[in-house]
Structure 1
């Protein structure tokens, strides 16, 4: 491509040529000027246009093989699209180059301004990316598209499992492992790029392999599912630090400040005590202090439901035939069930709180099952995973 000033020219004409014998670049340039002379009038004569700065230096790249010469001609112009097209049509009339027969065909007319627009967008994304690492950026409707472009640009798929990851994962000595794609996207949004998601609660082989050669911080949700991921990871891979989202929250919903606080509070694996649960700081109000009697049928029917709901941060709505009517988010479950009818049982991936217990009473729900009971009820039977004999897998 000709070396042109990007502010001077609008278009670059690209043409290919073939000559029946060996020729030199001066032969090609001579044919371009000589055989188009007088075809388009004085205003579009190539020599005059070049003198007036309307076209730039004509560049020729060629190669010879089998006694023939093939190559490309590029002509930058500051003319309009129509005039540039006329010049392209004119050089296609060339039938000889030097001593040999030749053909010339225009390949494309490149709009230089498109390249400038692409540069502007890419540069804007980079500037925004850098600004996001320094301070919070107010999100407005006008900037939303640009945010999405930045996140999509940074997002990569890593390993044979095509796991969601940040662009600096491979080159970073220290990495952050999170649960899923939404967690990765939120971390990228707030300037963290040395991250990888596991796409669920199972630990992929790619993550296990990475954990053996990098310093790993496992960053999980502040719920029972997060505890299960920690236990599973410790059995299969190598982890150096444990970080948790605040109790009852997920990594995907944290602000930059909350992420930084959680990562600063990370615990070295040798100091991590799995017996210290998130709920330890909450008031214990366990009404069923005596041993809870649960029928074998309840245990048999509910155990598969508990197994399926753990790690989803949701709640199953179940009828009296133990059929799942639907699944709703754990967050705000108390408001949701007040507007629903004919629910026999509620199976939670989370704690049974006072709010949930009271809402269950008002909705005439018979059973509420959760990871731990922090409430009491006179009309609803509140059961923990331990009460039904559930064994974590």
Structure 2
């Protein structure tokens, strides 16, 4: 195989031949014989001396070895000519029958295409580059999963003001959105809203009061009575410009990105804001049946009033009168759970079965076996309670309980605050 870098960049082909001489000769004898015996065979256009002067034939390389009064070796001639001319030169070399005073025989071994060898070298190098590139630049599945999972909790929540209020990094300048808690701040930042700050309680902090004096402020509050009360207090002590609300019965931290953007687009000036209202459904109109289709009772006493189903009784989740018998690992996990938006599932013995983002909780619980307790940094919703009841889970412990949640008979519902008041066994 020819190394492409061995010859001039203009070299296209390499003529290789071997020779046997009946006697002892030197390299100059071989070169002289090649030039001398091919001179004038095909005119000046294919004369080796003239072609070498013009650079179209490279330096002729001779390798030889003499033993026992015989000499054998090889001839290598680089060529920048076309295929036809190179073939003629190769054939002419074979016509040499004497080297020095001795009889000789030159046999053509092959004519190599240097460009083809260069193409092969480039392809080999390209494959090596691609292989290294894929190995070095492509992350493993574990790295991809870790990076994506990290995006759920890797938001840059800062502490703002003397009260150390949870806030986004752009809360210090421009317009500002005021929300209720840290979980709301984290959720808004995940959808790209970074000019957000939380009240972090029902009492309006002095920092919020000062911020609202010279900034355009939007209060983005939960769609429940607590949100109404917070709005009432905000309007009394702070200067609020616009109000956005989560849909009735939902909290801001429960909303999807689409619902968040819709709520903020539909914000209203403060003077047009109203307390949150339960969606009203039109009462179906009663259709009057023809007289001949009525029963005797209906004809005599008129139609009987018909109800619209028995009213649902909302059962508020309450703290059990007695301290629940929970394993110590549950209390340990609860200490570091706030603000992470993560969930942990335990079995009855307190062994951790699974840990996941809160957003995956409802999807993954049905596939877990021996689940006994669910602990998470989020809102306990009706959907989650229904799933827990179906899987035989005994305890559901969240940050807060959604308004209107109906507690199943076989599920105990607690909050993280309840848990901290009990303490470990």
**Is the pair's TM-score, using the shorter chain for normalization, greater than 0.5?**
no
TM-score with structure 2 setting the length? 0.37
The structure that has the greater radius of gyration is 2
TM-score with structure 1 setting the length? 0.40
